[in-house]
Homo-oligomer: A and B are copies of this chain.
């Protein structure tokens, strides 16, 4: 059984049931999520061992977050506790022409107070096949950024594959440093990088916002020789209820793509990018073929659109069946 280690903030997600707006809601559904934990949960459901490292408030809310991760198969033995603030986000689900809306309350969370010294990466990464990070974590605090860099360095020294999804929201980064300051260091230790043309332009000044993916990816790889694959996806947003997803990868020698997966009835779009990363990692670690890994990425992403919550919770068999195009939509008995 292969093993993934992830690192990042876990937030409580609070959303009105169904398609209710906040102004109509009298209760909120609880989930917990965060880009990296979402990847861990998705991989755990696909059959990998998955350990998530984070820091949570030392109270019944923080404990409940851990219990949620445990319920969804995560090894929570290395979670740290301290301070009192839980990162939260409020999600109002949209449909058709009405966009979903997210309001964050994550500043000063227990996670943002994390320091690199608190974590024993050598011990945690023992036996791991992959360490995964995202561009959200270094945006939260200097401590989080340092801890992430440390994890990458230790992974490198232990010969563990590092994958990074470099997308990062500009509205984070409030502690004094910028994407451009930090992310290059993280990428330089990464073997698999998920990055859009825009991200490569914005963070590294490669090409332009609308450049050709293959060209930019090659440039990125030249710049950071540890990189083996640069991966992205195309998302066509026909409406909040109808998206189309297509995978693409520059694997150092050629550009691979998948056909479009047509998600005609979106149930929950949040975390679909994380499901993409999870499918990619699963394929790379378990099947070791780029074409297969890319199909797993796109199929995992497509399936996540039909699962409520932040994380994909489908089995390896369900993804494989979609990759192979068998029995889609029939009832499994």
Seen from chain A, the residues whose Cβ lies within 8 Å of a Cβ on chain B are 14, 17-30, 45, 59-61, 63-64, 67-68, 70-73, 84-86, 88, 90, 92, 94-105, 107-108, 169, 171, 237-243, 261, 263-265, 267, 269-270, 299, 302-303, 305-309, 313-314, 318, 321-322, 327-333
Contacts and interface: CB of A to CB of B under 8 A. Distances in A.
Contact of A30 (B28, B59, B94): B28
Contact of A97 (B86, B103, B328): B328
A308 B71 contact: no
Contacts of A100: 331-332
A64 to B, nearest CB: 5
A261 B104 CA distance: 31
A28 B332 CA distance: 19
Nearest to A19: B267
Contact of A92 (B60, B103, B107, B305): B60
A245 to B, nearest CB: 10
A211 to B, nearest CB: 21
B60 A22 contact: yes
A23 to B, nearest CB: 6
Nearest to A15: B27
7 contacts: A24-B309, A26-B26, A70-B71, A94-B329, A99-B332, A104-B333, A239-B328
B306 A265 contact: no
A113 B94 CA distance: 32
